[in-house]
Each structure stands twice: as C-alpha cells, then as structure tokens.
Amino acid sequence: MKETSKENWTLKKLSIEFQKGYSFNETKDHYVGRIEFSNGENESFVIKLREDMTEPYLKLVAQEVIKNAQQLADKMAETLTFKSE
C-alpha cells in the first residue's frame, strides 16, 4: 500500500538562537531552539528545544567552526608565504 504524504514527515527547519533573557532580579542569557517538521501538505508541527537540549548541537557546531577556521587560517598562511625559486 502506498504511503500518503501525511505519513511522510520530514525535517523542515532546525534553528538555535541566542537570546538575552531577563528574570526578576537578574539577566539570564540563553539559547532557544526549534525543530519544525512538515509533511508537504501545508501541515507542520514545531518542537521547542530546552536550553539543555541545545547544548549538544552547539558543541557539534563549535567543533566544525574551529576546524574550518583552522583550515582557512592555513590557506591564508600559504598565500602569504613567499616561495623561493
């Protein structure tokens, strides 16, 4: 039996944003996240991510940012190095 698209939920969007937050007597900055799924028939649902749920994603992204920054720095250093003939 062929599945209908209502049964084919796919990830539409994953977002994590930094937000400045305020409580009664203190500032509590934090990250907020959302995961949105859609089935292609204008139906969707969103799951909000708690701060503790965003941490693994941020760690993963941080590792890639560091790796890519190092690669960029290495490439820039190569272009600035004079090669003797």
Indicate whether 14 belongs to any domain: yes
Tokens of 67: 């790796």
The pLDDT of residue 85 is above 80 = no
Domain count within the chain = 1
- Residue 1: partners with Cβ closer than 8 Å, 6 or more residues away: none
Mean pLDDT to the nearest integer, 35-49: 92
Indicate whether 1 belongs to any domain: no
Q: Residue with structure tokens 């890639």?
A: 64
Q: What is the pLDDT of residue 30?
A: 85
Q: Which domain holds residue 12?
A: 8-80
Q: What is the pLDDT of residue 1?
A: 44
Indicate whether 24 belongs to any domain: yes
